[in-house]
Amino acid sequence: MTFFSFAKGHLLVPWLMFAVLIFGLEWTDADMRFASLLFNWQGGVDSWPLRGHWITESLLHVTGRNLVILFTVVVVVAIGLSFRVDKLRLYRKGFIYLFTSLLASVLLVRMGKSISHMTCPWDVIEFGGRMIHSSLFERLPEGAEFGQCFPGGHSSGGFAWVASYYVLKQCHRRYAKFGLLFGIGLGAIFGLAQELRGAHFISHDLWSLAIAWTSASLLYYGFFLYVPKVKRISVANKVSIINANVCDKAIYKL
């Protein structure tokens, strides 16, 4: 499969959907509207009441993060065991791909946070903070602080597991959709928890999903679908030799 044919269904369509959502949020100012809705629903005045709640902080944030770390350790252990256990050897490449994709997604989001200027909801003036809220596509006013709260870090730990869709697609195709639902569902739960705490806007988490899906898709193509030019030439030569031998035998019979 060529990269273009793969990208049409796995990258182009998701990117178009993402672009529509992002520009829709920008045009309607939905980030601030939704954050205000959550803030007022909680009864917030100068802080977010659910910021330190045990469900959003201890359960969904801290425990959720530890759960993702545990899942990742299981994948690493599975890679190690695949060198000793015959039944796991067949899945070694899938485990390595999954770990690589998880790591790439999280690192890319971390890099984005280090260079972005967007603030967390709990830091902006409208919600009791002291910083100015600005769009990703706007320049900060002179002297304004960089927020470094974009993209959503916690949700990226969940969205990164969309890569399990590709692992299952390669190994057990009928279950692939469950891998996709698992990654999107886990990221959405983590993202909503952070939005309830005032840690992120919706767009922050949508960008994390886009990064996770893009890195998972590109790595899947590189791991499982890309055929180096040298290998293609080698296969073509073998086919030519086989065809030539077949023709020689046919002529000999004549």
Residue 142: what pLDDT?
Answer: 75
Spell out the long-range contacts of 144-147 with Cβ–Cβ below 8 A and sequence spacing 24 or more. 145/119, 146/116, 146/117, 147/116, 147/117, 147/118, 147/119, 147/120, 147/123
Q: Structure tokens of 44? A: 């917030």
Distance between alpha carbon 186 and the CA centroid of its chain, in Å? 11
**CB atoms inside a 10 Å sphere around CB 18:** 16
CA distance linking residue 220 with residue 223, whole number of Å: 5
Task: Give the torsion sign (CA, 96, 174, 225, 87).
Answer: positive
Cβ atoms of residues 110 and 151 within 8 Å: no
CA distance linking residue 119 with residue 106, whole number of Å: 19
CA distance linking residue 136 with residue 138, whole number of Å: 6
Q: Structure tokens of 17? A: 């959907």
Mark the ranges of the chain whose per-residue pLDDT is less than 70. 229-254
Phi, psi of 124 (to 5 degrees): -85, 155
Residue 230: what pLDDT?
Answer: 55
Residue 227: what pLDDT?
Answer: 84
The ranges assigned to domains in the chain are 3-228
Residue 229: what pLDDT?
Answer: 61
Residue 117: what pLDDT?
Answer: 87
